[in-house]
Amino acid sequence: MPGSLFEAARACLDAASVAAKLDATFAATAAFGRGELVVPDDAPAPEPVRMPGRPARPQLVHPRGLPRRGLGSVQGRAAFIHAIAHIEFNAIDLAWDAVYRFRGMPAQYYADWVSCARDEARHFAMLQARLRTMGHAYGDFDAHNGLWEMAEKTAHDGLARMALVPRVLEARGLDVTPGMIRRLQDVGDTATVEILEVILREEVAHVAAGSRWFRWYCERAGVAPLPTFRRLLAEYARAVLYGPFNHEARSRAGFSADELRMLEESLLTTD
């Protein structure tokens, strides 16, 4: 008898060690692909997820407590790769939380976020392997908890979640990764460049999923996407909205020309 996708998602969220979370994620996504996990119509409301399972390290600090390191040294590049790995590790939980927390959605919604969870786990595994070649492991450097904090703030509202986590926090990667790639090319780190090129290409699809389901929620609620996005940015994300924006990648990820114009104008009005 098929198992419940919600139960599998919660198990992935609760997995605390790196190995356990990756193993659970790859097993659950494969089972979903084989049709062995179903979305029950009568599933109870989700239990609160105050904090997903996490390893004891890295230590979580305020973003301002993280030192800025250059890419000219092996240590600096290792710290940089660790920061990206931490984002990808959080993104595994964010994808599973989108599956677990929001019930009664179309089948494609769950398929989209299961696919994202698999991709994020694969991205993390690539970065973890790269760290190991540099004599480091995930947990060797401090990190912050900003991504999950936004998940908590939007736990009550799927529309806000789709607007703000994929389309603000995760979309930031579309803006900054091309510059990171150029800087790594300048120092000859082709191995990390190849990983980031995969991540950039696949993250466009993840942000596009956020755009698709944000508009689905807007249509269901009978609200216009542009003013709704503007309102949510002002309410939740004023402190985490940064430019410049990668218009080409964001367009491919489902941002309209009006949304991109509004984002640029938002920077002008942000203190």
Whether 23 shows a pLDDT value over 60: the answer reads yes
- Per-residue pLDDT tens for 157-169? 999 999 999 999 9
Query: What's the number of domains the chain is made of?
Result: 1
Q: Tell me, yes or no, whether 50 lies in a domain.
A: no
| Contact call for residues 103 and 45 (beta carbons, < 8 A) | yes
Smallest Cα–Cα separation from 111: which of 242, 5, 241, 255?
5
Q: Tell me, yes or no, whether 239 lies in a domain.
A: yes
- Per-residue pLDDT tens for 186-239? 999 999 999 999 999 999 999 999 999 999 999 999 999 999 999 999 998 877
pLDDT average, residue stretch 37-61: 90
Q: Tell me, yes or no, whether 35 lies in a domain.
A: no
Q: Tell me, yes or no, whether 26 lies in a domain.
A: no
Q: Tell me, yes or no, whether 9 lies in a domain.
A: no
pLDDT on residue 1: 44
> Rounded to 5, what percent of the chain is helix, strand, coil?
70, 0, 30
Q: Tell me, yes or no, whether 77 lies in a domain.
A: yes
Q: Tell me, yes or no, whether 54 lies in a domain.
A: no
The range of the structural domain enclosing residue 199 comes to 71-268
| Contact call for residues 253 and 213 (beta carbons, < 8 A) | no
Cα 29 from Cα 97, distance rounded (Å) = 14
207 Cβ contact partners less than 8 Å away, ≥ 6 residues apart: 166, 167, 170, 171, 174, 250, 253, 254
Whether 271 shows a pLDDT value over 50: the answer reads no
Cα 251 from Cα 259, distance rounded (Å) = 10
Question: What's the CATH number where 143 sits?
Answer: 1.20.1260.10
Residues facing 252 on adjacent strands: none
Confidence category of residue 58, pLDDT binned at 50, 70, 90? very high
Q: Tell me, yes or no, whether 17 lies in a domain.
A: no
pLDDT average, residue stretch 33-56: 92
Considering the entire predicted model, what is its pTM?
0.94
- Per-residue pLDDT tens for 171-183? 999 999 999 999 9
- Per-residue pLDDT tens for 84-123? 999 999 999 999 999 999 999 999 999 999 999 999 999 9
